[in-house]
Amino acid sequence: MKTAIVTGGAKGIGAAIVKRLISDGYKVALCYNNSEKEANMLCAELGANCRAYKLDITNSKAVNEIFTDIENNFGEISVLVNNAGIAEQSLFTDITDEMWHKMIETNLSGAFYCCRAVLPYMIHRKIGKIVNISSIWGEIGGSCEVHYSAAKAGLIGMTKALAKEVGLSGITVNSVSPGVIFTDMTSHFDEDTMNELKSETPLNRIGTPEDVAGVVAFLVSTDADFITGQDLAVNGGMC
């Protein structure tokens, strides 16, 4: 049975990915930072093949320690899904140094730390799948979300570059860029805003976490063995 790590796996898109991978026959190490209750409830629901690990992905030392524990005591790591992230709306001129560094450290550096920690295991075995969860704003930019857009665009760039570097080791690296998805990150939008976003989407609906989870499940499957360095948009046609 293959083992997958999913960061930010306690809620929203991450939880949907965890559930889908469990249903596809994986053991899943669910990494969370603040959502301990949700993480433990999800693992209790999914059974022994799901195990929760508290992890601050901005702490590279902690990432190394937790990933070593997972590799040694839960199963050989075959899949890494970098889903953990934060979002924030702010005028560009109101973005402080602290806000900027926190956004980059969480959404980009955290994924870097996780990739760096898992790759020695994957390279040694000459097999592995990495999927980074970016965003439509990383592709096209979002007004009042410049720091978020920059971090997510960086994640796409890292994906494409890393895919070229580790391809000869049999490892694929891809990213998924969701559009507007029903999650905690969109819960602050009022009904009028959500309806406007819906009308801007050619499929005329807001996406679900399961829409994203299905694409991730494909990318980590053998059906996607010849796909790497790609960014797949899951946005209902919004561009």
Lay out the sheet containing 50-54: strands in order across.
Answer: 50-54, 27-32, 3-7, 77-82, 128-133, 171-178, 231-234
Q: How far apart are CA 58 and CA 206, in angstroms?
A: 30
Buried b (16+ CB within 10 A) or exposed e, 40-64: eebbeebeebbbbbebbbbebebbe
3-state secondary structure of 32: strand
**30: Cβ–Cβ under 8 A, 6 or more apart, which residues?**
6, 9, 10, 14, 18, 39, 42, 43, 50, 51, 52, 53
Q: How far is CA 54 from the centre of its chain?
A: 16
Query: Nearest to residue 43, comparing CAs of 34, 57, 31, 33?
Result: 31
Catalytic residues: 148
Cβ atoms of 139 and 88 within 8 Å: the answer is no
